[in-house]
Structure 1
C-alpha cells in the first residue's frame, strides 16, 4: 500500500513496469499536470470512487451508495429492489450530508511536525507539541483557499504527511442496479469466491459555474475533472497487471504477537457472538415484512459486513499460524537488538502493556457493539442530551429554537427506519452477553442492578413500554408544544415548554440508561484505555523504527490510515486450502447457476427476468468476450476496507474493474498479508457497462464515457 507520491522515490515504478505497467510514476501522481490521482475520490469519507467522464460521472460500489439509495426508497418507489436510472440531469437525485474529496497534493511534513520534539519529553508533552505544530501547518497550508488540509502520522509517528484536499458536497444519484444485481448473493456470498455481484452505483459531482465546490443548488452544473479514467473493453486474462488506487481504511501489519492473540482469542469471538444474535433478529424480521426490509436493509448490511469479515479473519490467521510467525519475527528482532538499550526491552514492555489494556479493550469492544450496533433506543435518546441538560444555556444564546427544529427533523429521519418490535428483540438478544462479559465496574447502573437481581426482562419491558423514545407518536406529542413555539418564534413559550420536557425526559428510563452507558464508558473505560493505548503506540513507534533500522534491506509501507494509496498485483486465482482451486474470473453463466426460481424478488439469489432474457439470447453487445460475459475477477492486490469502489486499472492506465471485496481467506490481510492466498475481488467494468446499457437502458451514460478497445 504505497503512497503515490513516493512511488518514484522508493523505486516502486521500476518494479511495476517489470510486472506490466506501461506508464510512469508521473502518470499515477503529479502536482504539475493531470494524473490518475485527479480521477480518484475519497467517497463520503468511507469508500473510494473514480471519475469516468468529463461531466463528473463517478463510479463506486453499490454498498457504498446503499445508504443514499435507501434514503430515496419508499414502498411505492423501491429503488433498492427495482434499481434507479435518471434519464437526464434533472432527474438525478441530490443527497444530504454527502461529500467526495480529491487529493490536490501530498507533502512530507515530518520535519515541520517534529520541530521542537526531544527525547527528554514525556509522551504527553510530545503529543501536545505535535498537535500544535500540526494545527498550525494545516491552517497555513490552506489559508485563503477553499481547500482542506489533513496531516496523518505514518509508521506510528516516525513520519508525517499532509494531504491537501478539494471537497464537493453536491453529489447526486444517477444510476443504481436493483439489489438483485448490486447485492446478488447477499450475506451468503459476502467475502466469498466465486462471486457474481454487480456491486456498483453511479453518482455525479456538481459544481458552481466556476467549477468550484458549492452547496446543492439547481443552478450547479456537472463538474469538469482534471482527469477521468478511459475504460478498456479488452477484458482481463490471467497474469495481466492490475493496480488498485484508493483510500484503504486500516491495517495493523506491525502489531506484535500479543495483539494478534487478543484479536483471535478474545475480541473477534465476542464481537462475532454479539452480531450473530442481532443479525438473527433482523434477518427474520426483514423476511417477514417488506417495510421492515426497507427500514433495516442498510443497517443489516452495516452489521453483517464486519461480522463475516471477523469470522474469516480469525480462520485465516489461524491457518497462517500468524501468532507463531509473529513470535519468530520477534525472536529475530530480539537477537538483532541485543545490547541496544533503546530496543532490547521492547517485547517485554509489549507483553506487560497488552496484559494491562485487555480488560479495558474488551469493555470498549463490547460497548461499541452494544451501544453503536445494538438497540437503537439508546442512541436515539442520546440525541436529546443537549435539550435536556443545556436548554437554559441554549436559550440564553438564542439557539434553542434551532435545536428544537433540528430534533423535529431527527425524529422524522430516525423513525422512518425504526421498528420498536425489532429493536426490543435486538436488546433482548444482546443484553445477556453484554452484562455477563463486561466487568460490573464498567456497566451502566440500571443494567448492573437488573442483572444482579435477575430482572433484565423487567428492564427491557420498561424501556419499550414506558420510554417515549420507543414510540414516535408519544415523543412527538411530548415535543409538540416546543415544536409549535419554535416554529412561531415564541421564545417565552419555547423556554417554558422545554423546561417541562426536560423534567419529563430526566425520568425517562431509556434516556437515563443511555446516559449511564455513555458516562460509565467515558469515566471508567475510555481514559484508562486511551492512556494504555498511548503507551502501546509509543512502543510501536520504537518497534517499527527499530525493525526498519535492523532489517534495512527491505522496502516498507506504512499501515493504511484512510489516506490515498496504490497497490499492484496480477489477475490470478489461488489455492486457498487443501483440494480447493479458485479460477480468476466468473461469468454470467454462474449467476444463472446460483439463480433461485422459487423465491421472492428480495431473495439474495433472485435474478431479474430481464437479465435472464439477455443471458438466454446471449445479448451482450460489445461487452461480451468469446460468447461469455465476465462478471467478476480476482487479483493479488493488497486491499482493505475503504478500498471499496476503488478503480482497478490495467497497465495502460485504463479502468478494467471496481474493487469491492476480498476472498474470505484474505480477510486476515489487515494483520498479515499473504500474497499467495490473498485475493481482492472486483466487478468487471464490462459487466458494469452491460448492466447500465443493456439491462438499465441508460446508454446516454455510456455515451459520456471514453471507451477503448485495442
Structure 2
C-alpha cells in the first residue's frame, strides 16, 4: 500500500477525534483545547467575538451562508445558493444558468432580485429571562406570552430600520437569544460558472463522493452613497465590510485542521426516539412521495417548454436535494440502525435519571404523550395544508390574513404581518412572476387536491368549494375556472390587494380571493390548536432538556444546541473515510476526474473550454504537487516509511473534512488554522446524512469546493482577472 494512503488512514480513522458540535460562537473558549488539538491556531476568544476577523466577514443569505472576500463588498457563496439570482436574470436569449455569467465591470452587475438579502450578524444576546418573564400557566396564553415578549425585544432592537432582529429558541425553549443583523438590500450577481460546472454531476452525484463540483458564485453587496443599506438603485455603491477574508491560494492538505462558520438549518439530535420513528415510518416517506410526483411533473413540462424549465429550475433543484436527503435518511436509518442507537441511549439516560431521588420520572411520559398528540396533529393537517398549495391561493390567503391582521395594533399582529415585514411581503408578491407558470401551478395543485380528496381526514370547506367534484374531469374544470377568472396573475393588481380592507376581500368576485376567505377560519382554528400544543410543550420540553444536558455533561459529551439557522462554528480536519462499500474515499479529487466522468450529456456535460484546459494541462500556478503531509515521526513508528507521499500533480477540485455541518451551511467558508479561506462547504456524503439525528464521527464527512479549483476557474478558464485583483491572496 502506498504510504500516502496509509498515512491518510492513520491520520483519520484510528486517531480521529470526535469533531461533533455546531457551537455557538460564545462557546468557543470552552473548547479551546480541542481547537488546539486540531491545529487551529486562531485564538478561541477571537472566534467568539463577532466584531473581529473572521466572524465579522461571515454573512447569511437567509437560507445559505456566504462571506466577504474583498473591501468592495464582494461575496462568495455556493452556486446553488445563488441559484435564484442566476435564474432571476436568465432568459431564453441569455440563459446564465446554462452558459454562466461574468461581469467585467461593476456597471455590468445586475440585481440578483428584489428578495435577495445579505444579513450581517453584529450581536447575539442571551434574553432568556426577558422572554420567560411573567408567563401564564395556561398553555395558549403561555405561547402567546413568549411571542409577545419576543416581539417587544425585537421592536427595541429594530429601532433602526436597517437592522433585522430575531429571537431564537435554543435547547427546545430552555434558552432564548436575540440576534441583531444588518440588512443589505441591494445584492447583485457578479460571476457564476455554468450549471454544468456549479452542479456538475447533478442529482446523481448529490450527497455522493468522489465529487467534482464547482459549486461557487460571487455576488456583491451594494448600499446608498451614504453607506447605509438601500434598495436597488443605479446610484448605489459597493458596501465596505468591516473585514474580508484572506484567501490562502495554497489551500490545505490531508490532516490539516479546519473550521467552518455558517448558519446550519435544522438538526434533531436531542429529539426522542419516538420522533425519529415517526419521521422514519410516516413523515419522510409521505414527503418523498409528493416530492417525486412534483419532480416528475415539472421535468415533463419543462422538456416541452424551455421557459418553464428556467422558471422552475430553482424549485427543481431544491426538491431534488430534499428528495435525495430524505432517501438518504431512510437508507441511513436502516444501514446503521439509528433508531436502535437512539433508543439505547434513551434507555441509558432513563437508567441514569432514576438514580436521582429528586428527578421527575413522569417527565418523559408527559413529553411522550404530547409528542403523540403532535404526530396525530401533523397527520391530520398535512393533506389539508397541501390542498392550499396553489401559488395564487397562497398569495390570496396571505393577503387576506394581512387585511385581518391590520385591524390590530402592530405589536399584536402575527409575525410576518407586522409593519417590519412589509418590504419582504411586497417583494415576495413581485417575485411570483419569475418562478410561476399557471399551467404548472394548476397541475401541481390538482395533484395535491386529488391526494386530499382520496384520504379520510377532510374538512367541509374544501368539500364545498372544490373537492365535491364527482370526477377528476369535474375537479379539473373547477380549477380551470379559477385560473381563468382570477386577476392575481397581474402583478400590479396583486400588489394592490395589500391595501384592501377585510370587507373588500369578503365581497370580492375573484375566485382565489373567495376561496381564501372561505378557508381562513379553518386555518385559524388549526393554527390555534398548534399554538396550544406548542404552549404545552414549552413547559415540558425545557425541563427534559435540563436533564439531558446534565446527563451529557456527566458523560463528558459535547453540549451544544440543535441547529436553528443561527450562526455556528464547527471544526475538524481534512479527512477521507472508509465508506460503506469497503472502499477508502480519499480526501481530495482532481481535475482529471472531470474528464473521466464527462459524457457530454447532463449532468456530466462540462463546458468545452474547461475540458480543453484540462486536456492541455493548462494548470498554471494552481497545480499542486501533493495534498498529503510528509509522514511525521510518530507515523513512521507505526508503519514502514518506504517512500514519499504519492504525487497529486493536479488542481484539487473538492475535498472532505470531518466538520459537523448540515443544510444552511451551504456556502459556508472553510478556514485553515490561521483563519484563511481555503474552500466552501456545499454538501455531505450520503453515509453522513443521518447526522441530522445522530453524529457518527467515523463516517460523517462534509464536502467542500477547494479554493484552488475556484481560483483556477477564475484564472485559467473564465479569465475573471478583474475579480482576482480584488482578492487578498496569501500563500503558506
| Bin of the TM-score, shorter chain as denominator length | 0.7 to 0.9
> Match of 2:27?
6
Native 8 Å contact 2:66 2:667 kept in 1: yes
> Match of 2:373?
356
Distance in 2 (CA, whole Å) between partners of 1:19 and 1:387 is 51
Q: Tell me by how many angstroms 1:59 deviates.
A: 0.4
Mapped pair 1:285 → 2:284: no
Mapped pair 1:467 → 2:482: yes
> Match of 1:670?
692
Distance in 1 (CA, whole Å) between partners of 2:130 and 2:443 is 53
Q: How does 1:438-587 map to 2 (within 5 A)?
A: 439-441=457-459, 444-446=462-464, 449-450=467-468, 454-464=470-480, 466-468=481-483, 503-505=508-510, 508=511, 510-513=512-515, 519-523=521-525, 525-553=526-554, 554=556, 555-587=558-590
TM-score by length of 2: 0.83
Q: Tell me by how many angstroms 1:152 deviates.
A: 2.0
Residues 358, 111 of structure 1: CA spacing in aligned structure 2 closer, same or farther, 3 A cutoff? Answer: closer
Native 8 Å contact 1:56 1:224 kept in 2: yes
> Match of 1:248?
264
Residues 411, 674 of structure 1: CA spacing in aligned structure 2 closer, same or farther, 3 A cutoff? Answer: closer
Residues 380, 6 of structure 1: CA spacing in aligned structure 2 closer, same or farther, 3 A cutoff? Answer: closer
Mapped pair 1:23 → 2:42: yes
Residues 277, 176 of structure 1: CA spacing in aligned structure 2 closer, same or farther, 3 A cutoff? Answer: same
Distance in 2 (CA, whole Å) between partners of 1:573 and 1:233 is 22
Q: Secondary structure at the match of 2:107?
A: helix
Mapped pair 1:213 → 2:235: no
Mapped pair 1:184 → 2:205: no
Native 8 Å contact 2:506 2:514 kept in 1: no
Q: Tell me by how many angstroms 1:678 deviates.
A: 1.5
Q: How does 1:80-91 map to 2 (within 5 A)?
A: 80-91=97-108
> Match of 2:351?
335
> Match of 1:225?
241
1:299 to 315, 321, 341: 315
> Match of 2:704?
682
> Match of 1:403?
none
Distance in 2 (CA, whole Å) between partners of 1:434 and 1:353 is 26
Distance in 2 (CA, whole Å) between partners of 1:287 and 1:539 is 51
Q: How does 1:141-152 map to 2 (within 5 A)?
A: 141=157, 143=159, 146-152=162-168
- Listed one character per residue, the Cα deviations across residues 340-366 of structure 1 (whole Å, up to 9, x for unaligned) are 565301222233222222221124444
Q: Secondary structure at the match of 1:206?
A: strand
Distance in 2 (CA, whole Å) between partners of 1:159 and 1:388 is 34
Q: How does 1:632-643 map to 2 (within 5 A)?
A: 632-643=654-665
Indicate the larger mover: 581-590 or 56-65: 581-590
1:70 to 64, 87, 90: 87
> Match of 1:618?
617
Q: Secondary structure at the match of 2:578?
A: coil
Q: How does 1:244-283 map to 2 (within 5 A)?
A: 244-283=260-299
Q: Tell me by how many angstroms 1:500 deviates.
A: 12
Residues 515, 572 of structure 1: CA spacing in aligned structure 2 closer, same or farther, 3 A cutoff? Answer: farther
Residues 116, 431 of structure 1: CA spacing in aligned structure 2 closer, same or farther, 3 A cutoff? Answer: closer
Distance in 2 (CA, whole Å) between partners of 1:6 and 1:269 is 37
- Gaps of at least 5 residues in structure 1 are 394-405
Q: Tell me by how many angstroms 1:608 deviates.
A: 0.9
Q: Tell me by how many angstroms 1:187 deviates.
A: 1.8
Mapped pair 1:697 → 2:729: no
- Listed one character per residue, the Cα deviations across residues 363-417 of structure 1 (whole Å, up to 9, x for unaligned) are 4444555544xx4453355466489999999xxxxxxxxxxxx999999854554
Residues 642, 141 of structure 1: CA spacing in aligned structure 2 closer, same or farther, 3 A cutoff? Answer: same
TM-score by length of 1: 0.86
> Match of 1:426?
444
Q: Secondary structure at the match of 1:569?
A: strand
- Gaps of at least 5 residues in structure 2 are 1-21, 409-423, 626-648
Distance in 2 (CA, whole Å) between partners of 1:415 and 1:215 is 19
Distance in 1 (CA, whole Å) between partners of 2:394 and 2:515 is 11
Distance in 2 (CA, whole Å) between partners of 1:522 and 1:305 is 32
Indicate the larger mover: 102-111 or 254-263: 102-111
Aligned length: 666
Native 8 Å contact 1:23 1:651 kept in 2: yes
Distance in 1 (CA, whole Å) between partners of 2:34 and 2:189 is 39
Indicate the larger mover: 298-307 or 136-145: 136-145
Distance in 2 (CA, whole Å) between partners of 1:669 and 1:336 is 25
Distance in 2 (CA, whole Å) between partners of 1:146 and 1:197 is 36
Distance in 2 (CA, whole Å) between partners of 1:542 and 1:341 is 13
Q: Secondary structure at the match of 1:628?
A: coil
Q: Tell me by how many angstroms 1:202 deviates.
A: 0.7
Distance in 2 (CA, whole Å) between partners of 1:392 and 1:560 is 36
Q: Secondary structure at the match of 1:301?
A: helix
Distance in 2 (CA, whole Å) between partners of 1:333 and 1:409 is 48
Mapped pair 1:96 → 2:114: yes
Native 8 Å contact 1:258 1:350 kept in 2: no
Native 8 Å contact 1:362 1:438 kept in 2: no
Distance in 2 (CA, whole Å) between partners of 1:529 and 1:676 is 39
Native 8 Å contact 1:190 1:305 kept in 2: yes
Mapped pair 1:378 → 2:381: no
Distance in 2 (CA, whole Å) between partners of 1:142 and 1:416 is 30
Indicate the larger mover: 694-703 or 644-653: 694-703
Q: Secondary structure at the match of 1:457?
A: helix
Native 8 Å contact 1:46 1:642 kept in 2: yes
Q: Secondary structure at the match of 1:552?
A: helix
